[in-house]
Amino acid sequence: MAEDIFIKDQEGKVLVGQVWAVDAAFPDFFNPKTSGWWSKWLTNFHNEIAFDGVWEDMNEASNFCAGACYASQEAASPVKNELPYVPSQRNLEAKSLPLDAVHMDNEDMGTKNVTELEAHSLFGTMEVQATHNWFKEQGNRTMIIERSAYAGMGKFASRWLGDNFSQEKYMGFSITGIMAHNLMGIQLVGSDICGFMGDTNAEL
């Protein structure tokens, strides 16, 4: 809070979502101060448990609410109501931050009040880059597996394809998923081979 590095609501207050276990604030990796804050906490954690790699799960960033968790943080005029069309025809705020959440202004981008709608696809990559920088600062080889990806993310980390089902067709989906990510410049990609949800079998 003192370093003012969290994503905010439209009123400028820290956005409160829900993850594990309940209420959570989300670091704003578009804020140049956040990378240093992130490095400090990775170092503190490494001092307690000497890890060699980091698994960055749910870094879309995921939120257990559909948009704002609290009515007091809902936007007066939600941007989702102004979209001319909805990609995939699903609720874009499902298990995600509200599209109106505000990331820090970034002069290099020439924008003001960067919303989650504009920043969402890059959030995971920005987190991965900050984590990659920490590994470099330590003089260690980067070992990061993460879930949210954007073109070029492979410069910083590897990716796994997220939660899948213990079914043959999902093994097939994993092949096309891996190849599609290779086209986007993400070289190291994998999946839960026997599935994550459901029960696997001897053949799988």
Of the residues 57, 137, 163, 168, only one is catalytic, namely 57
Half-sphere exposure of residue 71: CA atoms within 13 angstroms, side-chain side = 0
C-alpha span between 101 and 70 (Å, rounded): 13
107 as an active site residue: the answer is no
Of the residues 56, 60, 74, 118, only one is catalytic, namely 60
Strand order in the sheet with 189-190: 54-56, 144-146, 158-160, 189-190
The C-alpha angle 153, 154, 157, rounded to 5 degrees, equals 90
137 as an active site residue: the answer is no
What does the block give as tokens for 187?
A: 């070289």
3-state secondary structure of 17: strand
Catalytic residues: 57, 60
